[in-house]
Structure 1
């Protein structure tokens, strides 16, 4: 199989899942990109690292972080190891929004996965894991 058709199918699936889950995510006052940023802040608390992870310009990430901070979903603190930069962390409200938004996406994916047999789901998971393996 040629790589391009596979890539376009993966992209179309991702877009369809996000589109289907967006109304539910919006009930949390979030957009899909906000949800992804909240999920990343939990593990990557520095703005520069978030920008690199998302492959976005730092000013775009900073603007989004300010918006989420203004909404009470994240907090900014001075980094104890380097006072010139900040670390971001989820507030309790941010954790609730992340959990609810993640649940929206999970339910949407479950509907799609229900089209597959248990054996097909298992095989899909194994194949995706193989594709995600780092080259050693």
Structure 2
């Protein structure tokens, strides 16, 4: 199989899951991309780290962070180690939204995975793990 057909299928699956989960995620005033940003904020509290990790322009990430802040899902504080930078953390409301969104996406993925036999699911996971390995 050529790489492009595989890539388009991965992209289509991701889009389908996001669309199926959108109503559930929307209950928290989020879209699927903002939900992913919340997940990344949980692990990488600086805007620069987020932009690099998500491979997005810094202004786009900054704009999204401001929207999440206005929505009360994250808070911004000066980094005590470098006052030129900000730290972003999830609020209790943000944690609730993130957890609900994760549950929603996982349920949609489980629906899709239920179409596979248990051995097919195990093979899929093993193959994805191999593809994600760093080159030796």
TM superposition score category, shorter chain reference: over 0.9
After TM superposition, give the deviation of residue 108 of structure 1 in Å: 0.3
Q: Distance in 2 between matches of 1:132 and 1:75?
A: 33
After TM superposition, give the deviation of residue 49 of structure 1 in Å: 1.1
Unaligned stretches of 5+ in structure 2?
none
How does 1:119-134 map onto structure 2 within 5 Å?
A: 119-134=119-134
Structure 2 partner of 1:58: 58
Structure 1 segments, 4+ long, off by >6 Å, are: none
- Find the residue that maps to 2:43 and give its secondary structure: coil
After TM superposition, give the deviation of residue 103 of structure 1 in Å: 0.7
Structure 2 partner of 1:104: 104
After TM superposition, give the deviation of residue 27 of structure 1 in Å: 1.1
- Find the residue that maps to 1:42 and give its secondary structure: helix
- TM-score scaled to structure 1, two decimals? 0.97
- Find the residue that maps to 2:76 and give its secondary structure: strand
How does 1:78-97 map onto structure 2 within 5 Å?
A: 78-97=78-97
Structure 2 partner of 1:12: 12
Unaligned stretches of 5+ in structure 1?
none
In the comparison of the two structures, how many residue pairs are matched? 136
Structure 2 partner of 1:115: 115
After TM superposition, give the deviation of residue 53 of structure 1 in Å: 1.3
Q: Distance in 1 between matches of 2:104 and 2:28?
A: 10
Q: Distance in 1 between matches of 2:12 and 2:76?
A: 35
Backbone CA RMSD of aligned residues: 0.8
Q: Distance in 2 between matches of 1:113 and 1:76?
A: 38
Structure 2 partner of 1:36: 36
- TM-score scaled to structure 2, two decimals? 0.97
- Asked if 1:45 is matched to 2:45, the reply is yes
- Asked if 1:27 is matched to 2:27, the reply is yes
